[in-house]
Amino acid sequence: MPFPATRLRRLRQNRTFRRLVRETTISVDDLVLPLFIVPGRGIKKEMESLPGNYHLSVDCLVEEARELRDLGISAILLFGVPDAKDKNERAFGAYSPTGIVQQAVRAVKENVPGLLVITDVCLCEYTPHGHCGVLKNDYLDNEASLELLVKTGLSHAQAGADMISPAAMLDGQIRALRQALDSSGFLNLPIMAYSAKFASKLYDPFFKEGTQSALTHGDKRTHQMPIGNSDEAMREIAMDVEEGADIVMVKPGLFYLDVVYRAKTEFNMPLAVYNVSGEYAMIDAAARLGRLDRDAVMFEALRCLKRAGADILITYAAKQAAKYLTSKKLSVSDAVPEVESFAGRELSMKFSGIDGTAGSAGLVGSQWKSSSSD
């Protein structure tokens, strides 16, 4: 029925109506925080390209994990950052029983019960060249690398990981890991597959600073996906589902919402989306320049990922978002500001009250506050 009988604005006229008919919500249950673990003790060093995120030694990881659990975050995703001297062509540190991730898993499971520990299963952090496995004539050898990937996944399971997440985009990696886990007694350990992982430059902050494993030569386009191919992404997801993946993933997220939507509608599987380092860093950098409101845009990004079909949001903003959601006990559909404001790095936000008047509410955390209106 056309206008004037139909007036879609009737259900937008105040916050109560908008909450009543909201289609997409975010809760703290959706959030997974990536964490970077380094050797040593007493280390908590903020990453310049990913403000609010840190390199953590195992003892500091335990403290961070307790805080995350208390905020209501249900899962963390662990990445190892070994010393350069411990890297070698066979990526031994990836599957060593005393490797940095294995130590971290044991420490968190012993000291922070109730928090799900997911481990990234890849070899790039542990090779001197930064590629995801064994190189032969500068080409990633699929079968030789699969052997090491399986050893890595098993070592994480034996350390106590709740779920493993293979990231190398090797053909057959899910089948190989599922068979190895089952034959070793880990029948109930789930696999979250990096199913549609594109060869994106949006990973640069992650590799250059996060895992400190930038490539010494070449690129990863022989195994990660071409950025323009969504049909191929569906084939990758279909293969992972057939091979035994319990959760599938699209990575990156914001530039690939069409792929997220297709993945959810075509497979109806639990779907994780990785809001990657470059996406987080772009929003942060623009906010520092006063070009946009960090909080409002970050929440908008997360809600758009969820709207497109994401069930699980892997994001470097997880802790900040959880602090706000926990303090307000609201979903993000309630929390997203309707009048944004920005002044420098500090941020504060104005929210519409039920009567349509503006009330102010500051986000929790040093990076989520401000005062003047746009």
Kindly state whether residue 27 falls inside one of the protein's structural domains: yes
What pLDDT sits at residue 221? 84
What pLDDT sits at residue 129? 82
Kindly state whether residue 193 falls inside one of the protein's structural domains: yes
User: Is 251 annotated as catalytic?
Assistant: yes
Kindly state whether residue 334 falls inside one of the protein's structural domains: no
133 versus 41: the higher-pLDDT residue is: 41
200 versus 370: the higher-pLDDT residue is: 200
Banded pLDDT at 365 (limits 50, 70, 90): very low
Distance of CA 138 to the CA centre of its chain: 29
| pTM as predicted | 0.87
**Model confidence pLDDT, tens digit, residues 258-296:** 999 999 999 999 999 999 999 999 999 999 999 999 989
17 versus 354: the higher-pLDDT residue is: 17
Count how many residues are written for the chain: 374
Dist. CA 36–CA 210, nearest whole Å = 7
User: Is 369 annotated as catalytic?
Assistant: no
What pLDDT sits at residue 206? 79
Kindly state whether residue 75 falls inside one of the protein's structural domains: yes
**Residue 163 forms beta bridges with which residues?**
118
What pLDDT sits at residue 367? 41
Torsions phi, psi for 56 (to 5 deg): -125, 130
Q: What is the mean pLDDT of residues 83-104?
A: 91
**Model confidence pLDDT, tens digit, residues 220-232:** 888 889 999 999 9
Pairing mode, strands 50-56 and 44-47: antiparallel
Judged against a pLDDT cut of 50, whether residue 351 lies above it is answered with: no
Catalytic site residue from 197, 220, 264, 323? 197
Catalytic site residue from 151, 251, 323, 369? 251
Kindly state whether residue 72 falls inside one of the protein's structural domains: yes
**Model confidence pLDDT, tens digit, residues 318-349:** 999 999 888 765 444 554 544 333 223 233 33
Q: What is the mean pLDDT of residues 233-244?
A: 98
Q: What is the mean pLDDT of residues 125-139?
A: 85
Tell me the CATH number at 114: 3.20.20.70
Listed residue (127, 126, 118) closest to 74, CA to CA: 118
333 versus 155: the higher-pLDDT residue is: 155
Where b means 16+ CB within 10 Å and e means fewer, 298-313 reads: bbbbbbebbebbbebb
What pLDDT sits at residue 288? 94
Mean pLDDT across the chain: 87
Judged against a pLDDT cut of 60, whether residue 238 lies above it is answered with: yes
73 versus 135: the higher-pLDDT residue is: 73
What pLDDT sits at residue 329? 53
Dist. CA 140–CA 338, nearest whole Å = 49
What pLDDT sits at residue 324? 84
Listed residue (307, 107, 277, 261) closest to 200, CA to CA: 277
- Give how many domains the chain has, as a whole number: 1
Banded pLDDT at 11 (limits 50, 70, 90): very high
Listed residue (23, 47, 24) closest to 35, CA to CA: 47
| Domain boundaries, position 296 | 22-327
Listed residue (270, 251, 150, 149) closest to 197, CA to CA: 251
Dist. CA 73–CA 23, nearest whole Å = 22
Kindly state whether residue 158 falls inside one of the protein's structural domains: yes
| DSSP single-letter state for residue 245 | -
What pLDDT sits at residue 80? 94
N-terminal to C-terminal alpha carbon distance within the chain:
37
84 versus 215: the higher-pLDDT residue is: 84
Q: What is the mean pLDDT of residues 361-368?
A: 35
Kindly state whether residue 355 falls inside one of the protein's structural domains: no
Kindly state whether residue 321 falls inside one of the protein's structural domains: yes
